[in-house]
Amino acid sequence: MSDIHHPGRRSVLAASAAGAASLGASWLLSGCSGATAAPVLPAAARPGTPDRGGTLRIARPPASDAETLDPASSLSAYEYLGALYNRLVRIGADGDVAPDLAESWEPDSTARTWTFRLRKGVTFHDGRAFTSADAAYTLRHILDKATASPQAGVLTPLVDPGRLRTPDAHTLVVPLKTPNAEFPSLLTHYNCYVVPEGSGKSIGRTGIGTGPFKLESFAPAGPGRVTAYKDHWAGRPVLDAIAFYSVADMSARSGALLAGQVDLLSQTNLDFATARVVAASDHATIARVKNGQWYVLPMLTTDKPFTDVDVRRAMKLAYDPEHVVKAALQGAGRAGWDNPVPPDDPVHVLTHPRHDPEQARFLLKKAGHENLAVDLYTSAYDPLFTPMALAYQESAKRAGIRIRLKTASADSYYTQIWMKQPLMATYWYTGRPVDQLFNQVFRSGSSYNETAWSDKGFDALLDRARAETDDARRRDLYGEAQRWVIDKGGAMTPMFADRLVGLSRKVRGYSEHGFEFDYLGIGLKGA
């Protein structure tokens, strides 16, 4: 949501469900035949070539009445963005930065100035030609304080909007305040979709972009529809249209899928039991996004007892991540070992402390918290929060830590609990470039630093990594950053969960990476 919610997910996760039942919220699980079996969950979406045409029906979680189509906004209608817009660059299937509206890019010798060469022949949905002026305006719009974009916190330390240059219609030059060898990766975020020059006040309603679909209708927190843009620069999409429905809760969304009333559940990570029912049904199946979500138990380092680094270390040593994966995920994921960098990321380091409840006891005694008892907040907002919290509670008993579980309302979880209570459960979507991950979630003062951890030495390490133009040396520095977070930080990362996506058996061409699926190639078979 994440890109949360909260980054990676919407920041309006706590939105009211009122007005969200556009399809109704009381479907019966009528499409579920053969559910007595316990099938092995599919490893991927169904293969094959989709038929041309048709309408894909997507059920999504409810959002705020202030929801907008402005991609830079913290209230953006996430599911629409990849359909309506393109970015300068995107994350490719191999995890690397890939061309989108920019065909190529290059730094100067110090990685302090980046030059992007833009595609020719690209048009917006209103027929206007895309130029470098639109690319520069998009960055200025993100950086504008009035926009209040979550991505501004990442880009403002680097980009001076007044220094952007457009030497011709298809060249954008971005001088940086400080060197950054990873800069293009920061433009892959879903807040960075390109909008037309001067559209800041209208884009939230019009949705005019260069994407494979154009807007037909949109209601904040309600239904909407996009239709194929036949003049899309990469070719016409397979589908004729996508219809979006806002559905109040996970059980209602799952019921609609099982009944054949929708084709895809967006931003819904099915729990294992529900996923088995879906996989056994006549109408639906499962696509697995490996390590798609990163689950965290953040300790607020400004609140006692987590102000003490020894307590934080003890909390990490006290539990067994392998036990959490087994209990909460039934094996559909990987142990995190308190490292927020996904296991399949090229810069991931394997070094981590082993589960050691006796050392945890020693550290707690040293810190004066020999009989530590703390509250851990969870919620029904995500189906894995409570299983993860219960598994941590059970595992930490061995170190003498008493965890009291507190269940908070899903409607207000991300406004009343997240970043306010000393210990709670949360998650993020994976797919963030490592520079953004560390600077957005762990850097001192970042608005998304959910543990409020502040370490000047760590911040300086991030600055060195950004400025390092030697790839091997930069990887080493990001490896050092991982070890720093594991040893000193406030975030426990028990697990990376495979995101279990529910979709119709008619869906073909579902492929997800970098926060979104392939809107251009997805389609239906035999619809």
pLDDT tens per residue, range 469-510? 999 999 999 999 999 999 999 999 999 998 889 999 999 998
pLDDT band at 17 (very low <50, low <70, confident <90, very high): very low
User: Which residues fall within 8 angstroms of residue 164, CB to CB, at 6 or more apart?
Assistant: 136, 139, 140, 172, 173, 174, 175
Q: What is the pLDDT of residue 2?
A: 38
Cα–Cα distance, 427 to 3 (Å, whole number): 10
Tell whether 226 and 297 lie within a shared domain: no
Is the omega angle on the peptide bond into residue 107 within 30 degrees of 0, that is, cis?
A: no
In the chain, the N- to C-terminal Cα span, in Å, equals 30
With respect to residue 17, please indicate whether it lies within any of the assigned structural domains.
no
Closest by CA to 237, choosing from 503, 504, 46, 509, is: 509
State the pLDDT confidence band at 345, using cuts at 50, 70 and 90: confident
| CA 347 and chain centroid, separation | 19
Tokens of 314: 């003890």
- Of the ranges 90-99, 132-141, 154-163, 287-296, the best mean pLDDT one: 132-141
Rg (the chain; Cα; Å): 23
- What average pLDDT does this structure show over 234-252? 92
Contact, 8 vs 85, CB < 8 A?
A: no
What is the β-pairing status of strands 264-265 and 55-60? parallel
pLDDT at residue 41, rounded to an integer: 67
Please calculate the CA angle 16-414-329 and round it to the nearest 5 degrees: 105
Q: Does 397 share its domain with 348? A: yes
- Note whether 279 and 294 are same-domain residues: no
Residues 139 and 105 occupy one common structural domain: yes
Give the model's confidence band at 21: pLDDT under 50 very low, under 70 low, under 90 confident, else very high: very low
Residue 433 domain boundaries: 290-498
Based on the fold, state whether residues 189 and 220 are members of the same structural domain.
no
9 has pLDDT over 50: no
Q: Is the same domain home to 219 and 316? A: no
pLDDT of residue 153: 86
The 10s digit of each residue's pLDDT in 380-428 is: 888 899 999 999 999 999 999 999 999 998 878 988 999 999 999 999 9
In a domain, 23, yes or no: no
Cβ atoms 332, 326 nearer than 8 A: no
Per-residue pLDDT at 433 = 86
User: Is 353 among the domain residues?
Assistant: yes
**72 part of a folded domain:** no
| Lowest mean pLDDT segment, chosen from 54-58, 432-436, 441-445 | 432-436
Concatenated DSSP letters for 261-301?
S-SEETT----HHHHHHHHTSSSEEEEEEEEEEEEEEEB-T
pLDDT number for residue 380: 87
Query: In the structure encoding, which two tokens stand for residue 117, read together?
Result: 């060469």
CATH number, position 104? 3.90.76.10
Question: Which is nearest to 376 in space by CA: 391, 364, 363?
Answer: 391
The residue assigned the tokens 């209040």 is 148
Burial class (CB in 10 A: 0-12, 13-18, 19+), 39: middle
In 144-285, which ranges are continuous DSSP H helix? 152-155, 183-186, 203-206, 250-258, 272-279
CATH number at residue 340: 3.10.105.10
Question: Is 206 part of any domain?
Answer: no
482, 515: one domain: no
Across the chain, what does the average pLDDT equal? 88
In the chain, the percentage of residues whose pLDDT exceeds 70 is 91
Token digits of residue 443: 């850097």
Angle, helices 456-467 vs 471-488, to 10°: value is 160
Domain termination residue (choose one: 198, 227, 247)? 198
Residues 186 and 266 grouped into a single domain: no
For residue 59, which phi and psi values (nearest 5 degrees)?
Answer: -100, 130
300 domain-assigned: yes
pLDDT per position as a tens digit, 109-131: 999 999 999 999 999 999 999 99
Average pLDDT over every residue of 292-320? 96
Residue after which a domain boundary falls, among 166, 198, 230: 198
Same domain, 155 and 186: yes
pLDDT band, very low/low/confident/very high, at 320 (cuts 50, 70, 90): very high
On whether the CB atoms of residues 196 and 208 are closer than 8 A, the answer is yes
pLDDT at residue 40, rounded to an integer: 63
pLDDT of 85 higher than 70: yes
CATH code of residue 226: 3.40.190.10
Is 62 inside a domain boundary? no
Q: Does residue 56 register a pLDDT over 50?
A: yes
Name the domain boundary from 138, 163, 198. Answer: 198
Helix axes 272-279, 250-258, angle to 10 degrees: 10
Query: Do 478 and 510 fall within a single domain?
Result: no
Query: Are 277 and 295 found together in one domain?
Result: no
Identify the residue with better confidence: 375 or 41: 375
**Residue 34: exposure state from Cβ atoms within 10 A (0-12, 13-18, ≥19):** exposed
Give the dihedral of Cα atoms 111, 112, 115, 116; nearest 10 deg. 70
Which letter does DSSP use for residue 458 in this model?
H
Report the relative pairing of strands 165-168 and 102-107 from DSSP bridges.
unpaired
In whole angstroms, give the CA distance from residue 515 to residue 497: 15
Cα 490 from chain centroid (whole Å): 20
pLDDT surpassing 60 at residue 28:
no
**Does residue 445 share a domain with residue 297?**
yes
Taking the C-alpha atoms of residue 359 and residue 394, their distance in angstroms, rounded to an integer, is: 17
> Contact at 8 Å (CB) between 391 and 312?
no
Q: Say how many domains are in the chain.
A: 3
Residue 314: its H or E element = helix 309-317
Sign of CA dihedral 478, 481, 486, 487: positive
Query: What pTM does this model have?
Result: 0.83
The reply to whether 167 falls in a domain is yes
Q: Considering only 28-37, 190-199, 306-315, 426-435, which range has the smallest mean pLDDT?
A: 28-37
